[in-house]
Amino acid sequence: MSVAHYENFPVASILCPPALRPAVVALYRYARTADDIADEGPGTPEQRRVLLQHYRQCLLATFEASSAADAPLGKNAPGWPEVFVPLGRAIAQHRLPCQDLLDLLDAFEQDTHNPAYPNRAALLDYCSRSANPVGRLLLHLYGVDDPRSLAQSDAICTALQLINFWQDFSRDHPQGRCYLPHEDAQAHGLDPQNLCHLQDSPSSQALIRELVAWAREHMLQGQDLSLRLRGRAGWELRLVVQGGLRILDKIEALEYRTLMQRPRLRAWDMPRVLWRAARMRG
């Protein structure tokens, strides 16, 4: 199972309990397929939104089928059987919450509009649907649902999404996407109407420095969850946390000149990530 698209989220990794791997892979395939429809689907944005609506109907049909004891799981979904047949099994076995899966589709549909983000609150609202459901679904598989853990999971997932934004300027801007909050850009004298055409400059560096600190703050707010989760889940989350923080370190090392270049984790970063994960303390 490729994780090239979601490199910050481990998918059915060696640390994931074997009993949960089919469900994790099914969730990943569901999210990856919907994201690809929104980003790379054929036709106009409106045609991609129509396709996403059809995808949503398939999801609801799968939930309906999974609630019927005599229904073949996923078979009633009118499309994408490679996605909804295994997802139907996961829904039936683990009683997955429908709303989290629907929230992901809302975020993917929002991407087809390439909206502007006037402030950080608007960006956090997007993260609450594009990233936070992933963590909540994984916690659900592990049977964790207390408010403190959910809030910390949300903080980690929001941090990962923000890190992805500040990492992916060179990928997002050619597609007309810009997740820089306009209020922050204006505070540094940058034109909000021209954010997708920015070049690295002292002003952009100062802006990205502040946004990196914001992402780091969210990660640190949630990182204790990885220390409270027992066993493989905790270790896997530690690696996710440290992987995200390592990306922020790389952005800092580039002096926040990331509008034209993309920092990424390399094989030689892993010993440092593993070392930091092992040394994490509350």
Dihedral sign for Cα atoms in the order 50, 28, 146, 278: negative
d(CA 74, CA 80): 10
Please state the pTM of the whole predicted model: 0.90
More confident residue, 265 or 136: 136
Could you confirm whether domain 116-282 is CATH 3.40.30.10?
no
What is residue 69's predicted lDDT score, i.e. its pLDDT?
A: 54
CB of 117 closer than 8 Å to CB of 182: yes
**CA distances, 109 to each of 32, 113, 217 (Å):** 13, 7, 28
Contact 49, 275 (CB under 8 A): no
Q: Give the pLDDT confidence score for residue 125 in this predicted structure.
A: 98
Q: What is the spatial distance between Cα 51 and Cα 139, in angstroms, rounded to a whole number? A: 29
Radius of gyration of the chain from its Cα atoms, rounded to whole angstroms: 19
Q: What is the pLDDT of residues 1-25, one digit of tens each?
A: 333 344 444 544 666 788 999 999 9
The backbone region for 187, taken as left when phi is positive above 0, alpha when psi lies in -120 to 50, beta otherwise, is alpha
Asked whether the beta carbons of 232 and 12 are under 8 A apart, the reply is no
Domain ranges of the chain: 4-8+14-113, 116-282
Q: Which amino acid is at 42?
A: P
The pLDDT of residue 2: 33
How much of the chain exceeds pLDDT 70, in percent? Answer: 90
All residues at 6 or more sequence positions from 179 whose CB lies less than 8 Å from its CB, including other chains:
117, 123, 126, 165, 172
